[in-house]
Structures are given as C-alpha cells and as structure tokens.
Amino acid sequence: MLGWMRKQTRSWFVYVAFGIIIIVFVFFYGWGRRGGGEQAIVALVNKQKITRKLYNEAYENLLTISRSIYKRSLSEEEMKQLRQRALDELIDRTLMLQEVGRLGLTVSLDEVRREIANTPTFQRGGTFNKDLYLRQLAASRMTPGEFEKVMKVNILISKLTDVLQETTRLSDKELFALYKLENERISLKFLKLRASDFEGKVEVSSEEAKEHYKSTKERYRVPVRVKARYLSFDPKLYREKVEVTPGQIEEFYRINEDRFMHKERARARHILIEVKGEEGGETEEEAKKRAEEIRERIEKGEDFSQLAKSLSQDVASASKGGDLGYFERGQMLKTFEDVVFSLKPGEISPVVRTPRGFHIIKAVDFQEERLEPLEKVRSVIEFSQKVRR
C-alpha cells in the first residue's frame, strides 16, 4: 500500500495534503503555531522538536490520502504503517531542511515561479493558466504566497539532492557490489504443488486449528464498517450562486493581512571558499588568504560574477555568478544575512566567516516590507470565499 502511495506523491491532491506542507510552514514560516505552552514531543532531530500536534497533523493527512485512494476503512496494520510513515517523513524532511540551512542553499522568486509555471496541473494546452492555478489553490485553502513557500522548500530539497549527487562518489568495492546486485543470476529447480490435490488427505485436529488461529489472529480481523447514505453534489454548480460582498472581502483582507504581507527581502551574490582542514584541502589560514586575494581582484575591477563562476565552491550558485536570488531574514545563516542587510546595493563586504567557510558578498538589491494592495488580491479572496461557503 505505501509503495503505491510513494509513486503517487506527484499528484496535485497528494502534493497538497502530504506532510511536507506541515514541515515547511511549522519549521520555516510559523504556520500553524497557534496557542502557547509546552507541547508533547514525539522525536528530537538534532535538538529540533517534532511535537505530538505536528505528528498528528502529518498522520491525519496521510490517512486522508489513503482513504481517498482506497475508498475503504484501513486495517489496524495499515494504520500502524501510516503512523510510522508519518514519523519517518517528518524526520526525513527535518534532516533535509537542517542540511539545507547548514549549506546555506537558497532559491530565488524567479525559480519558484518558473517551477509553478512548469507544473502540468496548472497548465492548459501546455501553457500556464493563472485562473486554473488560483482555483486549485483556493480549493486547497492556500494562498499563492503560502504555496510559493511550499515550492521554495521543495526546490531547496531538490538542490540539496543535486549537491549530494555531485559530491558523492562510489568506491570500486561499492560499484562491484552494485554490479553483482543487478547482474547476479541463480539457477534452481522447483516442484509446483496445488493445495487442492491434498484436500481430504490431511487431518487437522481442533487443537491445531485453535493454535493456528491464535498465532495468525490478525489475518481474520474485520475492520470497522459503517453503512451510510449520502448525497453528493458538485460545488461548481453552486459556486456562482454564492454572493460575497465587497465588505466581506475587505474584512477578510483586514483580518488576514499577514497572508498578503511581503517581508523585507535582499538579493545578493557571493563567492565561497570552503575550509577543508584535516580532509586534505585548504586550512583555515589558506582559505582566508585566498578569499582576501579574490576580494582584492574585485576591488581592482574584475567582474564579480565571472570570478564567482570560476572560483566559488558553492555548487548551487557558482554557475549563476554567485546569485542567491531574493531572500528574507531568517532564511540564511545569521552571520551571513546580518552582513547582507548592512550593505548598500552594489557594495562589496569584507571577507566573512561562517560555518560554511569564507564568503565575499555583493549586495544587489533590497525590497522593503510591503502589503499587497487589496485590488490585486480581491479576485483571489472572492473565489476562495465562494469555495469555502
């Protein structure tokens, strides 16, 4: 069952309902942080807490997916598998996002929007359809801003996978083991027997039957069944009959201003020189000296982007001239972003030390915090309110 579900995670419904959305918003954007007080903890991942509430939400999402796929109640064993899957997903995603943060990987708004535009679910005739996109989001009770944050983290995880693939090399021993696994063959002989040929020839005592039943009791468990009557209807048939007044739209906008708020953002380029230390690469002193030399070359007029392409050791951004795109406070290592937000557009930073190594940073642009005007989001609010009513 779970193997089939893994193959379906690219579908729109599964993508929205899956636990990764919880991970993204709770750990990175604060979504779902309602109420106060200490919550029960089900797991600790490098001191990162996975709370009972978060776990329950992930499990409920998986349960919803399973029921929609199989159209039946799940057995106790299947529900047990789902509970474990929910926890495994939370732990896996937490570890990946922690590594993304450690490496300082970033995603620009342009990358996010390109990914959305290339999603087949939002296309008609192979072209992105904005109305279809907004309807899909409204039906899933998400704003474009919320979904862009989901996409941003998924792209980050994809970048992390690319980095790991580029830096991972198999030894000869591992390659040989892989070759054996894929090419090893076995020759055998077997005799096929039919159970029906032995019916009536084998005697089973009542004690043996009882013992077998006791040891395989779960095979005979009948899940809870409910007999019900229901009436189905297509919301599309009623949507246009629902009236949402301008006052209701304005009230929703006022109460949910945080959904339409764009935080202060910066765009920067950087050149990274890593410190390898005992691994055989450059020492702390050597790496710092090389970073200082690169900065001097920039000060003398050499192009920052070209130097980043040829010298930066940040795999994710080097090919783009060190461009990190736009990012908000809290998305980068604190030391790094503190320097960025202290610069002026076009200004080059001193050499900066972070856990990743030594950076030379160039500020490109800054965008102040701003609220999306009501007129730009009015149609989105109206549509979402019609769907919910």
Q: Are 383 and 135 in contact (CB under 8 A)?
A: yes
Nearest C-alpha neighbor of 34 from the set 18, 51, 10, 16 = 51
d(C-alpha 232, C-alpha 238), whole Å: 13
Residue 322 burial by CB count (10 A; 0-12/13-18/19+): exposed, middle or buried? buried
Rg over CA atoms, the chain = 28
Single out the residue of 372, 322, 327 nearest to residue 156, CA to CA. Answer: 327
Residue ranges and CATH numbers for the domains of the chain are: 2-162 (1.10.4030.10), 236-260+372-388 (no CATH), 264-368 (3.10.50.40)
Other Cβ atoms within 10 Å of 382 Cβ, number:
19
Q: How far apart are CA 111 and CA 365, in angstroms?
A: 17
Cα gap 112→99, rounded to integer Å: 20
pLDDT at 294: 96
Q: Do the beta carbons of residue 293 and residue 311 sit within 8 Å? A: no
- The C-alpha angle with vertex 39 and arms to 36 and 45, in degrees rounded to 5, equals 125
Which pLDDT belongs to residue 305? 94
User: Other CB atoms closer than 10 Å to residue 373's CB: what's the count?
Assistant: 10
How far is the C-alpha of 275 from the C-alpha of 298, rounded, in Å? 21
Q: List per-residue pLDDT tens for the chain, 389 residues long.
A: 334 334 444 444 444 444 344 444 444 433 333 444 456 888 898 888 888 888 887 888 777 777 767 777 778 888 888 889 888 888 888 888 888 888 888 888 888 888 888 888 888 888 888 888 888 877 666 778 878 887 888 888 888 887 776 666 666 777 777 777 778 888 888 888 888 888 778 888 888 888 888 888 877 788 888 888 888 767 667 667 778 888 888 888 888 888 888 889 999 999 999 887 544 457 888 999 999 999 999 999 999 999 999 999 888 888 899 999 998 888 888 899 999 999 999 999 999 999 889 999 999 999 998 888 888 888 888 877 776 66
The dihedral region occupied by 284, where left means phi > 0, alpha psi between -120 and 50, and beta the remainder, is alpha
Tokens describing residue 289: 């000296």
155 within 8 A of 106, measured Cβ to Cβ: no
Angle subtended at Cα 378 by Cα 372 and Cα 380, rounded to the nearest 5 degrees: 95
Residue 359 DSSP one-character state? E
Residue 323 is predicted with a pLDDT of 93
Structure confidence at residue 389 (pLDDT)? 62
Say what the pLDDT of residue 280 is.
47
Phi, psi of 361 (to 5 degrees): -115, 140
pLDDT at 23: 40
β-strand partners of 265: 328, 367
**DSSP helix/strand/coil, 364:** strand
Query: C-alpha distances in angstroms, 383 versus 64, 237, 335?
Result: 24, 14, 42
> Could you tell me if 365 and 345 are in contact, meaning their C-beta atoms sit under 8 angstroms apart?
yes
Taking the C-alpha atoms of residue 273 and residue 360, their distance in angstroms, rounded to an integer, is 9
User: Phi and psi for 36 in degrees, rounded to 5?
Assistant: -125, -165
How far is 143 from 145, CA to CA, in rounded Å? 5
Q: Name 160's Cβ contacts closer than 8 Å, sequence gap at least 6.
A: 96, 99, 100, 103, 105
What is the secondary structure of 260-291 as a DSSP string? GEEPPEEEEEEEEE---GGGSS--HHHHHHHH
Instruction: List, in sequence order, every residue forming a beta bridge with 83; answer none if it has no partner.
Output: none
With tokens 């055998």, the residue in question is 188
